[in-house]
Structure 1
Amino acid sequence: MSNVKEKKDVDYAEQAVPEEGRKGFVTMFMIMLGFTFFSASMWVGQQLAAGENFWEFLGSLILGGCILGLYTGLLGYVGAKTGLSMDLLARKAFGEKGSYLSSAMISFTQIGWFGVGVAMFAIPVANQFLGDSKIAMWALIILAGGCMTASAYFGIESLTIISYIAVPAVAVLGTIAMVMAVAQGEGTIVDQFAVSSGTLSVVGGAGLVVGSFVSGGTATPNFTRFAKDAKTGTIATVVAFFIGNSLMFFFGAIAYIFVGGNDIFEVMLRLNLFYLAVLVLGLNIWTTNDNALYTSGLGLANIFHQKKKPMVLVAGIIGTLLSVWLYYNFCGWLNILNCTLPPVGIILVLSYFMNKKDYEDEHAPLATVNWFAVIGVIAGAVVANVLSWGIASINGMAVAALLYVIGQKVSK
C-alpha cells in the first residue's frame, strides 16, 4: 500500500462537485460579481450614454439586464443543480466528441478576452505613467498576465480570494469617483445625459447590454456548480449579473460624459486619483480575467484530455503573448464570436430539462456526437451574425433551441 496520498482536485474538473466542495451565498455572490467586473463592459456604457438620454439608458439596463439575468440564471440553476462544469454538461448535451465544439468556442473566446484585458491594463498605465515606453508596457503585460494566470491556475479557492479583495474595492472606489465626477458636472445626471443623447433606441441599447456579457455568461455553470444548492446558485447569479453589469455601464457612461472616454480609469485620472486609478483598473480586469482563463482551461482540458492546471498555463501564456495584437486586431472577431456562444448555452439548458434522468445518473452512456445540437449551434451562430433585426444573441438562441427540440423529438 502506498503511503503517498493523492492530492484532491478541489476544482473537480472531471466530476460533479460533491457536498464538501459546495459554498454559501456570500462566496458565490462575490465570485459571480467579480466575474462581471470587466472594463470592456464600460465600452457599452459609453455607447449607451452617447445614444440615449438618462431614462432610455435606465430602460436599456433594465430590459437587457432581465434578459441576461434569465439566460445566466437558467445556466446557473443547471450548474448548481448538477454540480457539473459547462464542459461536462456539454458532453451530455452534445455528445463526448460533440462537446469539443462548445469547449473550443468558449476557450478561444475567453483566451481572447483574457489577452484584451491584460492589454487594457498595461497599455494605458504605460502611456500615462511610464512615458509610453514599450519596454515598460511589456513588463506590465508579463507581470499582469502572470498574476492573473496564477490565480486561475490555483483554481476556485484563489478566484474566491481575489473576488473578496477586488469586488469591494472596485465597487466602492469606482462609485465614489463616479459621484465626484457627476458633482463636478453642470446640472443633474439627467441633464448631463441629455447633452450627449443620440438616436439609440431602448431595444437597441438592451441588445448592447445583452451582447456585452452573454458570451462570458455562457460559462456560468463553471462557477455555480460550487453553490450549496440550486437556489443559491441561481439567485447569486441573477443578482450579481444585474448589479455588476449595471455598475460597469454606469462607470462607462459617466466616463463618456465627464471626460469623453469609456473607462472609470480616465475619470479617476481627471480627479487626480492616480494611484487609485491604477488599483481599480487592475483589480477590475483581474476579477474577470482569472475567471475567463479558468474557463478556457476547463475547455482545453476537455478537448485534449489533460489536467486543468497545465491547460490554464498554456492558455495564459498564449493570451499574454498575443495581448497587444488581440487588443488592436481581435475585438471585432470577438464580437462575432459573442454571438456564437448563446446557442450553446440554451442547448445546455434545454438538454438538462428535457433529459433529467441522464443527468441524475453519472454512469449514463454518452453519445459520440449529438448532431442536432451541433447543427443547432452552427445555424444559431450564423443567424445571430447575419440577421440584422432584433437582438442577435436571442435570434441565435431561438434558432438553436428550435432545431435542438425538433432533433430530440425526432430521435425519440
Structure 2
Amino acid sequence: MSLTTPDSDYPLSEVPSGARKGLLSTSILLFGFTFFTATMFAGGKIGMAFDFTTLLWAAVIGNLLLGLYAAVLGLIASRSGLNSVLMGRFCFGEVGSKLSDILLGFTQIGWYAWGTATIAIVLVKLLGLSESLTLPLMVLFGFGFCITAFIGYKGLDLLSRVAVPAMLVLLVISLWLATRDAGGLAGLLAVQPKESMSLSVAITLVFGTFVSGATQATNWTRFARSGRVAVLSSLFGFFIGNGLMIIAGAYGAIVYQQPDVVEVLVLQGLSMAAVVMLFLNLWTTQDNTIYNFAAAGCNLLRTDRRKTVTLVGAAIGTLLALGGMYELLIPFLILLGSIIPPIGGVIMADYFYGHRARYPRLADTSLPAFNWCGLLAYAAGALCAYLSPWVAPLVGIAVAALVYVVLFELRKVLGARSPARA
C-alpha cells in the first residue's frame, strides 16, 4: 500500500498539505481524547485531599502546564507534519528511536488495557450482570473499541463529534446536581478534606495522568492546517478538556466523599447516564489510545500496515486487561510521570536548538543509527524525574532539554578539536 494514499494516515511520512484539518476537527478530536475516566479518578483522589479553592489551583496549574507542553509539541508537529515517534528518528537516531517507540507504545497499550477492564467491570456492577460475563465483556470491548481507530483519523473525528457534546451535557447535569446536594457554593467551600496530599504531588498527578497522551497528541496535531490551529486545539483539549475531567472528578469527591465518578452518578440517581457517560468517555479515549499504539508500532517495525498493527495492539491490550491491569492505575500513573515527559523535552530541544526549528524531509535524510545526545539526555531526564521530590514530569522535561543542549554543544566542540581525516 502506498504511503501517500489519502486513507493511509501517513504512518511513516509527513502529512501533506492536502490532508490538513481545521481548528474544529482537530480541537474536538483532542477534546474527546482528553475526556477520560482515569483522569476523573485522579481528580477524585485530589478532591479527597483538598478544599475546593486549593483544588482549583492544583487543577489550573497542572493543566496549564500540560496544555503548554502539548501546544509546543503540537506546533512542531504541525510545522513538520511528523508525530512524536517520527521526530524520535532525528533526536534518538534510526535505531535509537525504537526506544521511544517501545516506551510510548507500552504506555498507550497500558491505558488501553485499563480502559477495557474498567468498562467491563463497571458495567457488570451497574447492570447487575453475572460476574462470569466480566472476561467475555473485556474481549468484546477490547476489540470493539478499536473499530474507529482501525478506520483512521476520519473514524476518530466522527465519533468525537457525536460523543463530546453528549458527554458535556451529562457533565453539566452532574455538576449542577452536586452543587445542589452540597448546599450551593457556600456548602461546597465549607467541606473539609478527609485525606492529605501535598500540592506538588497533586500537580504531578494532574500533569502525569495524561502527559503520555500529550506527548503523542502529535499524531493529530500534525494534521493541523497551521501552527496556530495546533496550539489552540492543544490548549483546548489539554487545558480545558483535561481540566474539566479533573475538576468534575474532584467535585464529586468533595461533595459525596466518593472518588469514583461512576459511583457519584449512581448516587445522583443517574445510573443509566453513568453507563452512557462511561461508554462514550472510554470509547473516545480508547480508540485514540490504540491509534497511538499503532503509530508507535509502525515506526518500530518500519511498516505502513497501520490497521494490522491496530488489531495486534487491541489483542495485547485485551490480554493485559484479562491479566488484572485495572488494579495498577496509580503505580502506572507515577511511572508515566517519570519515563514519558523527558521524551518531549528531548524532542523540543532537538527541534528548536539542534535543528534550528526546521526538520529536513525524512525521505531526503540519512540519519545515524544512534543519536547519543538524545539518548543520554533522555536517560538523565528520566532518572532525575524518578528521583525528584518535586513535580517529577516538569523536572524530567527540563533536565532532558538542558542536558541535550549541553551534550549537543560538547559534541560540536569535540568534533572541532578532532584531527581532520584524510
TM-score by length of 2: 0.91
Corresponding residue of 1:86: 84
Which deviations, in whole Å up to 9, do the C-alpha atoms of 1:1-33 show, x marking residues without a partner?
xxx9x9544411111111111110001110111
Higher deviation after alignment, 189-198 or 268-277: 189-198
Choose the corresponding residue for 2:168, options 164, 171, 174.
171
Verify the 8 A CA contact 1:11 1:156 in the aligned structure 2. yes
1:65 and 2:66 are equivalent in the alignment:
no
Residues 263 and 165 of structure 1, relative CA distance in 2, 3 Å threshold: farther
Equivalent in the alignment of 1:125: 123
Letter in 1 for 2:370: V
1:369 aligns with 2:370: yes
Amino acid at match of 1:63: I
Secondary structure at the aligned position of 1:365 is classed as coil
- Matched residue, 1:335: 334
Moved more, 164-173 or 184-193: 184-193
What amino acid maps onto 1:410 in structure 2? L
Q: How does 1:150-189 map to 2 (within 5 A)?
A: 150-188=147-185
Q: Distance in 2 between matches of 1:147 and 1:58?
A: 36
Determine the C-alpha separation between the residues in 1 that align with 2:276 and 2:137.
13
Residues 208-287 of structure 1: pairs in structure 2 closer than 5 A:
208-287=205-284
d(CA) in 2 for partners of 1:401, 1:7: 36
Distance 2:154 2:253 in 1: 36
Aligned residues of 1:54 and 1:190 also touching (Cα < 8 A): no
Aligned pairs (5 A) from 1:18-167: 18-131=16-129, 133-167=130-164
CA contact (8 A) 1:182 1:189 kept: no
Amino acid at match of 2:112: F
Q: 1:211 to 1:301 in 2, by over 3 A?
A: same
Distance in 2 (CA, whole Å) between partners of 1:264 and 1:285 is 13
Contact kept in structure 2, 1:77 and 1:233, CA below 8 Å: yes
- Call closer, same or farther: CA 1:243–1:333 in 2, change over 3 Å: closer
Give yes or no for the alignment of 1:387 onto 2:373. Answer: no
**Aligned-residue offset at 1:197:** 5.9
Show CA shifts across 1:287-313 (max 9, x none): 111111111111111112222211111
CA contact (8 A) 2:6 2:19 kept: no
Secondary structure of 2:192's match? Answer: helix
Q: Distance in 2 between matches of 1:202 and 1:329?
A: 23
Partner of 2:191: 194
Distance 1:100 1:361 in 2: 19
Q: Aligned partners of 1:300, 1:189: CA distance in 2, in Å?
A: 51
1:110-155 per-residue CA deviation (whole Å, 9 max, x = no partner) reads: 0001110111111011022134x23322232222222211111111
DSSP-derived class of the 1:339 partner: helix
- Deviating more after overlay: 45-54 vs 185-194: 185-194
- Distance in 1 (CA, whole Å) between partners of 2:159 and 2:112 is 16
In the superposition, relative to structure 1, how do residues 271 and 333 fare at CA in structure 2: closer, same or farther (>3 Å)? closer
The AA in structure 1 aligned to 2:166 is A
Q: Deviations over 1:228-277 (max 9, x none)?
A: 11110111101221111111112211221343322332222122222221
1:311-338, Cα deviation, whole Å (9 max, x unpaired): 1111111101221411124651453133
AA aligned opposite 1:349: M
Which deviates further from its counterpart, 392-401 or 180-189? 180-189
Closer, same or farther: CA 199–59 of 1 in aligned 2, 3 Å:
same
Contact 1:56 1:201 survives alignment (8 Å)? no
Greater CA deviation, 222-231 or 268-277? Answer: 268-277
Gap change, CA 1:235 and 1:8, over 3 Å in 2: closer
Q: Normalised by the size of structure 1, how large is the TM-score? A: 0.93
Distance 1:165 1:189, change over 3 A: farther
What's the CA shift for 1:187? 4.4
Separation in structure 1 between the aligned mates of residue 396 and residue 169 of structure 2, nearest angstrom? 37
Give unpaired runs (5+ residues) of structure 1.
none
Separation (CA, whole Å) in 2 of partners of 1:125 and 1:361: 48
How many correspondences in the alignment? 407
Q: How far is the alpha carbon of 1:190 from its aligned partner?
A: 5.8
| Cα gap change, 1:334 to 1:67, in 2 (>3 Å) | closer
Stretch of structure 1 that moved more, 391-400 or 8-17: 8-17
* Counterparts of 1:217 and 1:181, CA distance in 2: 30
Distance 2:186 2:243 in 1: 16
Equivalent position amino acid for 2:403 in 1: L
Structure-2 separation of matches of 1:102 and 1:10: 22
Q: Secondary structure at the match of 1:218?
A: helix
Q: CA deviation at 1:365?
A: 2.0
Equivalents in 1 of 2:187, 2:135: separation in Å? 41
Q: Which moved more, 1:78-87 or 1:323-332?
A: 323-332
Determine which of 299, 303, 316 is the counterpart of 1:302.
299
Shift, 1:157, TM fit: 0.8
CA-based RMSD = 2.1
Shift of 1:375: 1.5
Shift of 1:368: 1.0
Q: Is the 8 A contact 2:339 2:382 kept in 1?
A: yes
Task: Give, in whole Å, the separation in 1 of the partners of 2:124 and 2:357.
Answer: 54
Contact preservation (8 Å) 1:149, 1:293? yes
Percent identity over paired residues:
34
> Would you say the 8 A contact 1:152–1:290 is kept in 2?
yes
